[in-house]
Structure 1
Amino acid sequence: MSTLSPSPPPPQNSASGSGPSPTPPKVVFPISPVPPNPLGGDRYIKTAAALIIGDEILNGKTHDRNSHTFAQYCFVHGVELKRIEVIADNEDEIIEASRRLVKAYDLVITSGGIGPTHDDITYQSLAKSFNQNLVHHEETIRRMSEMNKYRKWVGTQDAQQRAATRRMALFPEKAEVIFVGEDIWVPVVRLEGKLCIFPGIPALFQKMLHGLTPFLPLPPKSERPLRIQIFTERAESMIAPYLTSLQERLKPHGIQVGSYPVLYKGVFVSLIGRDLESKEDGGVWLAEVAKEVEQAVDGRVVSEEEVAAQKGEVVGNKNKIAGQMEDLPNEFAENDKAKF
């Protein structure tokens, strides 16, 4: 059962005899209990793929931000993101891609196509993909109704509009339905223990992905990578021979070396590896490599924020996957179709 905060006091009447509408009480839903490891035993997620669904992505109407968010999330948690695919709102394409990706990777996410209109076909396509019927999920309908009951448009819906709204709670019958936020009625729907269905709204996708973390068997911290970046004003061609030899030397230690030029500014050299507790068995500390690179390319270690600033990206605390996610207003439900 959801819990509601106390009702606000009645509004004070104005001189004309009418007052402002009362503020609706805040709705707080319980989060789902964490089930056993869907991969079984002590296994954890090592590989992942993202399936972005939507004609609006392919025709350029909408910019896909969710694959970037998911890539950041995977890196932070030590999961190797192996593939990102963008496909149309087409049943055959969704069926083919979902089956193939689920066979190949430990975690697959889909984004988009779960709204109330005719072209939102993700749930029905995935039900066919895994040979399941569609059923209405009553708890989702209850939460949706609880969230929306104070909205003016609810009382004006006709039968077809109510059916369209309920369509957003029509899930494959054997799916896990995971509620990941106290203020979100939309669940993450999981199939085959590894395919997680998300809405396409970027802010909602990000918040729900963060909320799903306790439900995912993610790698231990010892398996998570560390990234150090060094900025140099030298031309990439000037440092290329050194970086080539450095990569050959570090490859046996599992350290990746990359270079990323920024037009008219310089080059970022990226070092990615695991932070070793000791140097036993010939291990290499990433921090020591970074010092060597600083001297070799006449550069300096820079923060992720400085990298983003140099590249012209916007990075703030509320956009960091590792930090707390920005709270979404309940009003997101008023725009269910916005890339849902």
Structure 2
Amino acid sequence: MSSSPKPSAPVINFPNSPIPKNPLGEGRYIKTAAALIIGDEILNGNILDRNSNYFARFCFENGIELQGIEVIADDELKILEASRRMVQKYDFVITSGGIGPSHDDITYPSLAKSFGQELKYHDETLRRMEEASRHRTGISQQLTAAGKRMALFPEAGEVLFVASDTWVPVVRLEGKLCIFPGIPSLFQKLLDNLKPFLPLPADDERPFRLQVFTPLSESSIAPFLTDLQKRVKPENIRIGSYPLSQPGAHVALTGSDRERVKELGLEVEKELQGRLLSAEETELMIKDKRQ
């Protein structure tokens, strides 16, 4: 006798926030960025930080120059110092971690203090949190005091609901600093969905990367690449080389002038007995490095 199928849980479908005005001002766009990764568990090796790598790729693909990544402890003074310094220096800053219900989740109160704000419960976040809890088996519909802490935000922060299938928002302070959870799957979802809310560079302002495979060893190609980097440095083109587990190396050329980078790629291909990699091969190579 077959059992009847279990009814599927209702699908969460919250409305997203409207797109606000450019927080940097009309006509300006994000040029530089930094990441502040918060958590004792990252520093003691208990958890592997995947979010900074994902953010680095996000920045490159969207034409933003990521200029710094810092990992700090769950310490109020460290959060205050780093967040203030980064907001003064960069156009786009993210924090990752420390916004859960636990005693050591101090990111929201620390950032509120950093920018002279009080903490205030956000009613719409509480409502969405309670609604989402009804869709999860084994979860009480009555929110606990600890759970409600996850909706206790700096009062002047922009609360951006960017993904319809989660109650978790991105809170933005000073028009620059965006606060993210540390869970990689949720971090990635919110970051990807934040794109329409960011003043990103136009396509023609974004860097272009080209990869060349060479069967030669990294030490043998070093003199040529050293000379090449000196030659193209005034053109703001960067040259990098990465050894492989098998004989050979990958050479990466990155710059804003697509045609010039392609021209140099042909030169590297010829001089190093190499082969230009297709976009698909480059993407597979990047994925392999991330694993």
What is the TM-score when the length of structure 1 is the normalising length?
Answer: 0.80
Match of 2:107 among 92, 113, 122: 122
Written as runs of structure 1 = structure 2, the 5 A alignment for 1:71-220 is 71-155=56-140, 162-220=144-202
Structure-2 separation of matches of 1:197 and 1:259: 34
**3-state DSSP class of the match of 2:144?**
helix
Unaligned runs of 5+ in 2: none
Shift of 1:110: 0.2
Shift of 1:286: 1.6
Structure-2 separation of matches of 1:273 and 1:256: 6
Structure-2 separation of matches of 1:198 and 1:311: 24
Structure-2 separation of matches of 1:21 and 1:312: 37
Map Cα deviations across residues 25-61 of structure 1 (whole Å, 9 max, x no partner).
1121111111111001211111100000011100101
**3-state DSSP class of the match of 2:288?**
coil
**Counterpart for residue 53 of structure 2:** 68
Structure-1 separation of matches of 2:27 and 2:283: 37
Structure-1 separation of matches of 2:281 and 2:290: 9
Structure-2 separation of matches of 1:70 and 1:124: 24
Structure-1 separation of matches of 2:103 and 2:179: 18
Distance 1:73 1:198, change over 3 A: same
Match of 2:266 among 273, 291, 303: 291
Shift of 1:246: 1.3
Written as runs of structure 1 = structure 2, the 5 A alignment for 1:50-69 is 50-69=35-54
Map Cα deviations across residues 92-146 of structure 1 (whole Å, 9 max, x no partner).
1111111111111111000001111111110011011111111100100111111
Distance 1:315 1:81, change over 3 A: closer
Structure-2 separation of matches of 1:220 and 1:152: 44
**3-state DSSP class of the match of 2:224?**
helix
Structure-2 separation of matches of 1:310 and 1:121: 38
Question: What amino acid maps onto 2:21 in structure 1?
Answer: P
Contact 2:102–2:146 (Cα < 8 Å) also in 1: yes
Shift of 1:307: 5.1
Structure-2 separation of matches of 1:285 and 1:144: 51
Shift of 1:289: 1.3
Contact 1:308–1:315 (Cα < 8 Å) also in 2: no
Shift of 1:315: 7.1
Structure-2 separation of matches of 1:45 and 1:254: 18
Unaligned runs of 5+ in 1: 1-13, 277-283, 317-340
Map Cα deviations across residues 242-268 of structure 1 (whole Å, 9 max, x no partner).
112211221222211111112442111
**Counterpart for residue 252 of structure 1:** 234
Aligned length in residues: 291
Question: What amino acid maps onto 2:108 in structure 1?
Answer: Y
**3-state DSSP class of the match of 1:72?**
helix
Structure with bigger gyration radius: 1
Distance 1:114 1:140, change over 3 A: same
Structure-1 separation of matches of 2:155 and 2:197: 20
Contact 2:12–2:166 (Cα < 8 Å) also in 1: no
Distance 1:149 1:238, change over 3 A: same
Structure-2 separation of matches of 1:310 and 1:177: 37
**Counterpart for residue 324 of structure 1:** none
**3-state DSSP class of the match of 1:213?**
helix
Structure-2 separation of matches of 1:44 and 1:311: 27
Question: What amino acid maps onto 1:302 in structure 2?
Answer: L
Match of 2:277 among 281, 287, 302: 302
Map Cα deviations across residues 170-223 of structure 1 (whole Å, 9 max, x no partner).
000000000001101100000000000000111111111011001111111111
Structure-2 separation of matches of 1:84 and 1:166: 30
